[in-house]
Amino acid sequence: MGMRIVGLGVVLGVLAIAGVATAQDAIKARQAEFKEFGRRMGAIKDIVIDKKGGTLAEVAANAEHIAGKIPQIPSWFPNGSDRGETRALPAIWQNFADFEAKAKNAEELAKALVAAAKSGDQAATAQAFGKLGQEGCGGCHRPYRRPEN
């Protein structure tokens, strides 16, 4: 009987470690996705705000990538991925319906940026970019992400 208990303990220990590894994998994966969002938002900013060159077609392509990925955001926060190297606040899991609604709003704002860029209207594109940053990205970051130290 003793060996069975030890065996069960080993299995449970391995599963616990696997759970931690899985949570850390989820954290790393979502951080990589958000870094890509940041890179693309930076590229858009370079074009529409800082006027460093580039086209509205490039803006539209970057915004389409973001708009296409945003619906996946809630799936990037599985239960248990609130512990480890993450700035995600527990409020995400406590208010998951609101978190999902904020992601949906960000998706709509990203789609509006795509439409503005495709229209060729530079001012409308800059305005849509600002709104995505403030209300879309910021709408989640403020309540659901711990500030950097």
Task: List the chain domain ranges.
Answer: 2-144
% the chain with pLDDT above 90: 81
Task: Please give the single-letter amino acid code of residue 118.
Answer: K
Compare 148 and 107 and report the one with higher pLDDT.
Answer: 107
Sign of CA dihedral 17, 147, 105, 112: negative
Q: Which residue is associated with the tokens 């940041």?
A: 38
Res. 6: pLDDT tops 70: no
Separation CA 74–CA 93 (nearest Å): 10
pLDDT at residue 36 in the model: 97
Query: Any alpha helices (H) in the chain, and if so which ranges?
Result: 2-48, 56-69, 91-94, 96-119, 122-131, 138-144
The model scores a pTM over 0.95:
no
pLDDT at residue 22 in the model: 82
Whether residue 118 contacts residue 60, with contact meaning beta carbons closer than 8 Å, is answered with yes
Model confidence band, residue 149 (pLDDT cutoffs 50, 70, 90): confident
Q: Which option is the CATH number for 2-144: 1.20.120.10, 2.60.34.10, 3.10.20.340, 3.30.470.10?
A: 1.20.120.10
Q: Cα(first)–Cα(last) distance of the chain, in Å?
A: 51
Q: What is the mean pLDDT of the chain?
A: 89
